Structure 1
Amino acid sequence: MIIQLAAAFSAGAAVTCLSLCILRLLSGVELERKRAETDLPVPVLFRLLMPFLPLVRSTSESEGLASWRRSVAPKLLMAGYGEVFTPGDFIGLKLLVYLLGLVILLIGALSGRVLICLCMAALVVTFYSSMWLSMRIKARHLSIMKALPNVLDLLMLSVESGRDIVSALRDILARRRMDPLGEELTRAFRQMQLGRKRADALRDMAQRVRQPDLTTTVNAIVQAEELGVSIVQLLRVQGDMQRNKRFSLAEKLANEAAVKIIFPVVFCILPSVLIVIFGPLALQVLQMFRVG
């Protein structure tokens, strides 16, 4: 009976894989092209699930999930994946992750290892359905916060030497390695080159990224230009303020490290040390009692 079920399952899996390969060739070419054009890391599980997207695309693009797509779209932009995933594709991947969790639970029920498979399913669904995107947003915001003071200093020096802010930004981007802040500034600079007003391009960048420090800096620059305030002095003040925020965050993380390390020390390192120290002594005592 088991052999027959295994054979039937293998045949069904083969037919399914063949169908998915055909679907991928027919409707997944554009999706793969977008992935190849970016250097952003995409989780291995998402790459493995991409061939299955045509199966759930009608659901992920349905009107019933329109509000979900609207809520996901700004998060993808904040994480820098707005040009990698459409909201519908990302929701489709999340639906496939949920289905994968159900498959893991089904395998656990059939094999009798329900608890282990339940933990695996919960881990996979929790991480890939919500935590991954939040972690990417947090990492991107942290990178922007770290890089912002240096960019402001370079802008201040260039403008102080007589350059306008657009040409100074162009020179900085030409010499700067590409990071999240560089990507957003490059996009804003290209919008300026296409004829968009500088204030609108900067506001659009702040709205897209939604990083508090960058938003504060952009609002200050736009207001300074509208009011005729010295841009050099503003950049100097903003650079010092953002640098102080970066130092304050570093001090906060350093102070929290002592508290966070208590758990691994007490529950992981300390028991190992006690076993190494008192283990041989306990064995000797047991041997003495046995001999006696």
Structure 2
Amino acid sequence: MDFLLGLFSRLTGNEELARILFISVIGFSTVLAVIAVMLLVLGLQDPVQRRLALIKRGHLGNAVGQEAPGNLQLLLERVGQRFASAESTKTSVTRTLLMHAGYRSSSAVQMYWAVRLMLPLLLIGLVLLLLPFIPKVSLMIGLLLVLMASGIGWLLPALYVSKRKEARQNRLRVAFPDALDLMVVCVESGLALPTTIERVAEEMSVSHVELAEELAQVNAQIRAGITSTEALKQLAVRTGLDDVQGLVSLLAQSIRFGTSVADTLRIYADEFRDRRTQAAEEAGAKIGTKLIFPLIFCLWPSFFLVAIGPALIGVFRAFG
């Protein structure tokens, strides 16, 4: 408290005015925080409000295997609904990003914005609590630390979601060749495309869980009445992979013009193998360039130290 009061005194230049300003800010912030927490918690504890919140997020209380969300999750969803962007374009981009990262619930966008809004506030509060324990901190450094904490809190969830998206797409990209080979075998054995997708999903449920879940969802959509072409297009949208988009385009043309699905899958499998070989050759060609940094900064200094070090020591002793 004394540290914050000293900051206010240096900012205003008047100790009495700094005390009044400090007390006013603390009191006003406390009143607002208490009122906000009371309204949110009381609203979530009300059975009618809780039931409405569950209905809005698509939760059915009598569904088997579903667990009702807790008050904390509903609280974050409500905060996200208050501050989420009203622009449909930005909301669609955020939902697509979360979908590619594996977050597909109806409240994923609200939870994402709630975390991005509340994490900077938590980090700012933590910095303000730790500032009195840091000796000789000026006002400018304190403001800089607060700004850095708010920036980190705002960017950290976005970076986490982006990294999770990249990792998930890499796992799907690695699993896609195996699924493609299994689809070729199943189609050539006489199975229809929906049955092929179901069989491949069952076979890959242990080794590649995420791709198996995607294929199982495609099969469920086909059984629900959605056409195979539309279900495959939604698979390409959910994964965000160019390889899947190319396969979907080829299968859509094959279904539309009545050509053999087995031939289409075999041709795409061959093209995908060639593409994978080219990617491996490209990665191998980049190794020489990537080795420049460790060679110059790690290996060469140690080599020169071992090779020239004794001679330099002898020279220094001779001309010492």
In the alignment, the residues of structure 1 paired with residue 130 and residue 300 of structure 2 have an alpha-carbon distance, to the nearest angstrom, of 33
Preserved contact between residue 69 and residue 88 of structure 1 (Cα < 8 Å): no
In the alignment, the residues of structure 2 paired with residue 93 and residue 223 of structure 1 have an alpha-carbon distance, to the nearest angstrom, of 43
In the alignment, the residues of structure 2 paired with residue 126 and residue 262 of structure 1 have an alpha-carbon distance, to the nearest angstrom, of 36
CA distance change for structure 1 residues 222 and 266 in 2, over 3 Å: closer, same or farther? same
CA distance change for structure 1 residues 96 and 52 in 2, over 3 Å: closer, same or farther? farther
CA distance change for structure 1 residues 249 and 97 in 2, over 3 Å: closer, same or farther? farther
Deviations 1:187-233 (A, max 9, x none): 11111122222222111111222211101101110110110111111
1:158 to 159, 177, 186: 186
1:173 to 184, 201, 204: 201
Aligned-pair distance for 1:97?
3.0
Aligned-pair distance for 1:287?
9.9
1:131 to 137, 152, 159: 159
In the alignment, the residues of structure 2 paired with residue 283 and residue 100 of structure 1 have an alpha-carbon distance, to the nearest angstrom, of 57
1:145 to 159, 162, 173: 173
Say whether residues 1:98 and 2:128 are aligned partners.
Answer: no
* Number of the residue aligned with 1:238: 268
Name the amino acid aligned to 2:175.
A
In the alignment, the residues of structure 2 paired with residue 120 and residue 278 of structure 1 have an alpha-carbon distance, to the nearest angstrom, of 47
Deviations 1:28-74 (A, max 9, x none): x989x9xxx99xxxxxxxxxxx95983x6555323772234332111
In the alignment, the residues of structure 1 paired with residue 72 and residue 115 of structure 2 have an alpha-carbon distance, to the nearest angstrom, of 10
CA distance change for structure 1 residues 205 and 105 in 2, over 3 Å: closer, same or farther? same
Preserved contact between residue 149 and residue 240 of structure 1 (Cα < 8 Å): no
In the alignment, the residues of structure 2 paired with residue 228 and residue 52 of structure 1 have an alpha-carbon distance, to the nearest angstrom, of 49
* Number of the residue aligned with 2:225: 195
Stretch of structure 1 that moved more, 248-257 or 207-216:
248-257
In the alignment, the residues of structure 1 paired with residue 286 and residue 150 of structure 2 have an alpha-carbon distance, to the nearest angstrom, of 29
* Number of the residue aligned with 1:43: none
CA distance change for structure 1 residues 97 and 276 in 2, over 3 Å: closer, same or farther? farther
Say whether residues 1:62 and 2:62 are aligned partners.
Answer: no
CA distance change for structure 1 residues 226 and 125 in 2, over 3 Å: closer, same or farther? same
In the alignment, the residues of structure 2 paired with residue 201 and residue 283 of structure 1 have an alpha-carbon distance, to the nearest angstrom, of 72
Say whether residues 1:218 and 2:248 are aligned partners.
Answer: yes
CA distance change for structure 1 residues 95 and 270 in 2, over 3 Å: closer, same or farther? farther
Name the amino acid aligned to 1:153.
D
Aligned-pair distance for 1:121?
3.8
CA distance change for structure 1 residues 271 and 160 in 2, over 3 Å: closer, same or farther? closer
In the alignment, the residues of structure 2 paired with residue 100 and residue 264 of structure 1 have an alpha-carbon distance, to the nearest angstrom, of 40
In the alignment, the residues of structure 2 paired with residue 119 and residue 273 of structure 1 have an alpha-carbon distance, to the nearest angstrom, of 42
Q: Structure 2 regions of 5+ residues with no counterpart?
A: 6-25, 60-64
Identity of aligned residues (%): 23
Aligned-pair distance for 1:145?
2.2
Preserved contact between residue 105 and residue 118 of structure 1 (Cα < 8 Å): yes
In the alignment, the residues of structure 2 paired with residue 121 and residue 262 of structure 1 have an alpha-carbon distance, to the nearest angstrom, of 36
In the alignment, the residues of structure 1 paired with residue 302 and residue 172 of structure 2 have an alpha-carbon distance, to the nearest angstrom, of 41
Name the amino acid aligned to 2:189.
S
CA distance change for structure 1 residues 262 and 105 in 2, over 3 Å: closer, same or farther? farther
In the alignment, the residues of structure 2 paired with residue 271 and residue 223 of structure 1 have an alpha-carbon distance, to the nearest angstrom, of 57
CA distance change for structure 1 residues 64 and 174 in 2, over 3 Å: closer, same or farther? closer
Aligned-pair distance for 1:180?
2.8
Name the amino acid aligned to 1:254.
G
Q: Structure 1 regions of 5+ residues with no counterpart?
A: 39-49
* Structure 1 runs, 4 residues or longer, greater than 6 Å off: 282-287
In the alignment, the residues of structure 2 paired with residue 127 and residue 119 of structure 1 have an alpha-carbon distance, to the nearest angstrom, of 12
Aligned length, in residue pairs? 261
CA distance change for structure 1 residues 179 and 243 in 2, over 3 Å: closer, same or farther? farther
Aligned-pair distance for 1:167?
1.4
Query: How do residues 62-81 of structure 1 correspond to structure 2 at under 5 angstroms?
Result: 62=82, 65-67=85-87, 68-81=90-103
Q: Secondary structure at the match of 2:252?
A: helix
Stretch of structure 1 that moved more, 196-205 or 140-149:
140-149
CA distance change for structure 1 residues 120 and 262 in 2, over 3 Å: closer, same or farther? farther
Which gives a bigger RCO, structure 1 or 2 (Cα 8 Å, sep 6+)?
1
2:235 to 170, 195, 205: 205
